[in-house]
Amino acid sequence: MLWVKSLHIVFIASWFAGLLYLPRIFVNLAMVSPSSVAERDRLLLMARKLLRFTTLLAYPALAFGLWLWLGYGIGRGPGNGWMHAKLAAVLLALAYHFYCAQLLKDFIANRNQRGHVWFRWFNEAPVVLLLIIVVLVVVKPF
């Protein structure tokens, strides 16, 4: 079980690293002038590769988490409300991930309607989610 837990933590940390960096690329994309085609193309390439890599990391992270939850019974039974809250936060992180994919499609199609300030704020969402998840797992407040 400790091996599975360790792998889960490694893949989650790597997944969140991508979720923290991808919106930062969006900030830069929103700041690129229309005449800087090479810079825009380079940033789009970076964002596509990072999204693909981040998505590949999310699958094993979720699989190991399900294995721990269903296979070992972690977080089941009375007094484990923290697990339900953690799962809700994980679902929000997944929604954020898929929304990032949609935003990247909008950038690729030149349909972005938001400025770099909006993306700076958007970049803070995974930090809040990660903090919530870590506190729920470590502190287990309910």
**Using an 8 Å Cβ cutoff, are 132 and 91 in contact?**
no
Q: Which two structure tokens, joined as six digits, stand for 95?
A: 């929604």
**Using an 8 Å Cβ cutoff, are 47 and 106 in contact?**
no
Which residues have C-beta within 8 Å of that of residue 123, sequence separation ≥ 6?
20, 23, 24, 26, 27
Binding residues: 8, 86
- In order of 31, 41, 80, 82, 117, the CA distances from 114 in angstroms are 10, 18, 40, 35, 8
Report which residue type is found at 31. M
User: How many other CB atoms are there within 10 angstroms of residue 95's CB atom?
Assistant: 11
Binding residues for heme: 8, 86
